Amino acid sequence: MRRLAPLCALLLCACACASVLPPASVGGAPAPPVVPWNHDWVRGAVFYEVFVRSFQDSNGDGIGDLPGLISRLDALNDGNPATETDLGVDALWLMPVFSSPSYHGYDVVDYETIEPDYGTAADFQRLLDEAHRRGMRVIVDLVMNHTSAQHPWFIESSASPRSPYRDWYVWRADDPGWTQPWGGTNRTWHEKNGAFFYGLFWGGMPDLNFSTPAVREEMKRIAAAWLRRGVDGFRLDATRHLFANGPGDLQNDQPETHEFLKEFAAHVRGVAPGSVLVGENWTTTPIIARYYGAPETIAGGDELPVSFDFPLATAILAGVKTGEASGIAAKLAEIAALYPQGALDAPFLTNHDQTRLATELSGDPVKLRSAAALLLTLPGAPFLYYGEEVGLQNGVGTKDEFKRTPMPWDASPGGGFTTGTPWFAFAPGQDTANVAAQTGDPASLLSWYRRLIRARKASEALRTGTLSLLTPAGRSTPVLAFLRESANERVLVAHNLAASAVEEGPFDLPGSAAAALLATDGAHLEHGEGGWRLRLPAGGSGVWRLDSLKGRAAQEPGTK
């Protein structure tokens, strides 16, 4: 169990950390003013998740690096809204780029230096400058829950019970036998020098002790340092596990976790109110909703302003696989009911911990297009996983490395990724699932993603508007239909997940004319007796701007 450190240990810790911690506040000083978030840029923005090791190698060693990523920025967003040859994303999420002994970087040994495989501090600064010049923001993974067992803090902490860093980690005299809360038999307490430390994921990644004030202050200081260097926010890894008060569910979602995240968010807002925090809370919708905190204190919530929507991702994947839209509608209705007013959702399809979308959907081009259209017409800040836009498959194994294979830029042996030997083998399907093969093809998946993102940017309602379901959550249907509405625009969005064409309607909506912002071949909307009627081909999608905002119903269900 994590508990406050004894006073003597805190005093020792304070002495040891004087060079890295800011001065303590004076007792009795007035509370700092409440600073709101000022990150309107996030609402509607399209984020792109990058594993630097697998994106682009610049020096032929087979390992992706920051100079390589910089060389590919124009493919993601060239900074010119008039061009159509870039993907058009608004922000990058970089998986861990801090020094680490592992390929993945989730066991950090130094939170303030760039992983040498990836480059230097100067390379990172140039990446920020070049991304910002093109209008892209950059957020980075901040792995607060744990460090590497090779981190100097842990080496010192494990050396002696009298170490000033002892209470930076969680120690006890015995192993209570807790296992990981998501199932299985893997234990979470690990022996070192005659005592046991808590490491939720494995013994190589000991959990930090956030009951120790010096740990809290150090993480806040580190975050502030990177914000001042120019990063636009953080993706927070494993946020629901920051505190553990016992086995099973007591290793998740503890009250102390929420208290610290409020403290951390307030600190980040104070340093850079235009930045963003995105939480990884892999759990159910009601629990995720609680991580937004109190909207009456801060607009959108005083805790995490954005959380990844794992349940919605599951619902989208299931709906696209089965051709059944009611589960997606039910999940959207639940989000509307439980999330705070104004909360920012982060929908996605898959990420670096999951089997890739193209493999889940057996490479079906119609289903891949449907999934993309669903994601990019939803509210919030959608996240794409690198390679999804070309249908990148999983590798042939089940290890995490097979979910994070090199980006296929072309069909050559090095894939356009490297002139050397790639650090890991390319996934199957590289001959067609690559950027070069799809760039010139208007019918390709890549071209579809580009069109979807351009349509999203061209529509105020798609970017920032509310969502009102037209599809009932309690009735089986292959069609997901909803309205997206802003102050100046109303659009009708419809997706047919079935393997055959469908007709849907009438919908009693205002207006008698519509303009297609985006529609697959054969998708049609017309106004007639009784209202609007839809015709959608198999796997078809359409987005239509309605010609009037007058005559709104007195009451409309809507999501935030």
Statement: residue 22 has pLDDT above 80: no
- 3.30.70.3000, 3.20.20.80, 3.40.50.1000, 3.30.420.40: which CATH number matches 47-138+383-458? 3.20.20.80
Amino acid making up residue 420? G
Statement: residue 116 has pLDDT above 50: yes
Could you tell me if 58 and 46 are in contact, meaning their C-beta atoms sit under 8 angstroms apart? no
Average pLDDT over residues 419-432: 98
Half-sphere exposure of 247 (CA within 13 A, CB side): 12
With both helix axes pointing from N to C terminus, report the angle between 213-229 and 7-16 in degrees, rounded to the nearest 10. 30
Residue 11 confidence (pLDDT): 31
Residue 33 confidence (pLDDT): 76
Residue 32 confidence (pLDDT): 65
Average pLDDT over residues 157-178: 97
List, edge to edge, every strand of the sheet that includes 490-496. 466-469, 479-485, 490-496, 541-546, 514-519
Residue 28 confidence (pLDDT): 56
Domain with CATH 3.90.400.10 in the chain: 145-209
Cβ-based neighbour number of residue 501 at 10 Å: 14
User: Could you tell me the pTM of the whole model?
Assistant: 0.92
Could you tell me if 284 and 240 are in contact, meaning their C-beta atoms sit under 8 angstroms apart? no
Average pLDDT over residues 36-42: 94
Give the tens place of pLDDT for each residue, 119-131: 999 999 999 999 9
Angstrom distances, CA of residue 346 to CA of 47, 52, 309, 316, 375: 9, 21, 6, 13, 10
Alpha helices in 138-232 (DSSP H): 152-159, 213-229
Residue 30 confidence (pLDDT): 66
Average pLDDT over residues 39-66: 98
At a CB cut-off of 8 Å and minimum separation 6, what does 241 contact? Answer: 145, 200, 207, 251, 252, 257
| Tokens read off for 220 | 């806040």
Pick the closest to residue 350 from 390, 384, 398 (CA basis).
384
**Residue 237 annotated among the catalytic residues of the structure:** yes
Cβ-based neighbour number of residue 524 at 10 Å: 15
Pick the closest to residue 343 from 298, 287, 284 (CA basis).
298
Instruction: Indicate which residue of 49, 232, 237, 360 is catalytic.
Output: 237
Beta strands per DSSP E along 115-201: 137-142, 171-172, 189-192, 195-198
Give DSSP secondary structure letters for 218-273.
HHHHHHHHHHHHT--EEEETTGGGS---SSGGGGSS-HHHHHHHHHHHHHHHHH-T
Strand 502-507 to strand 531-536: parallel, antiparallel, or no bridges (unpaired)? Answer: antiparallel
Between 487 and 17, the higher pLDDT residue:
487
What is the C-alpha to C-alpha distance for residues 301 and 310, in angstroms, rounded to an integer?
Answer: 19
What CATH number should be reported for the domain whose range is 465-546? 2.60.40.1180
Cβ-based neighbour number of residue 161 at 10 Å: 13
Instruction: Indicate which residue of 117, 167, 280, 389 is catalytic.
Output: 280
What is the C-alpha to C-alpha distance for residues 148 and 343, in angstroms, rounded to an integer?
Answer: 33
Give the tens place of pLDDT for each residue, 521-531: 999 999 988 89
**Residue 280 annotated among the catalytic residues of the structure:** yes
Residue 24 confidence (pLDDT): 39
Query: What is the share, in percent, of the chain residues with pLDDT greater than 70?
Result: 92
Statement: residue 66 has pLDDT above 90: yes
SS3 category, 52:
helix
Could you tell me if 395 and 51 are in contact, meaning their C-beta atoms sit under 8 angstroms apart? no
Could you tell me if 206 and 199 are in contact, meaning their C-beta atoms sit under 8 angstroms apart? yes
What is the C-alpha to C-alpha distance for residues 33 and 270, in angstroms, rounded to an integer?
Answer: 9
Using the structure block, give the residue that is written with the tokens 């590798």.
395
Domain with CATH 3.20.20.80 in the chain: 47-138+383-458
What is the C-alpha to C-alpha distance for residues 56 and 53, in angstroms, rounded to an integer?
Answer: 7
Residue 548 confidence (pLDDT): 62
Record: fold of 145-209:
Oligo-1,6-glucosidase; domain 2 (3.90.400)
The kind and range of the H/E element at 110 are strand 110-114
Average pLDDT over residues 204-225: 98
Residue 21 confidence (pLDDT): 34
Pick the closest to residue 46 from 3, 13, 76 (CA basis).
76
Domain with CATH 2.60.40.1180 in the chain: 465-546
Average pLDDT over residues 528-550: 88
What is the C-alpha to C-alpha distance for residues 55 and 406, in angstroms, rounded to an integer?
Answer: 6
At a CB cut-off of 8 Å and minimum separation 6, what does 555 contact? Answer: none
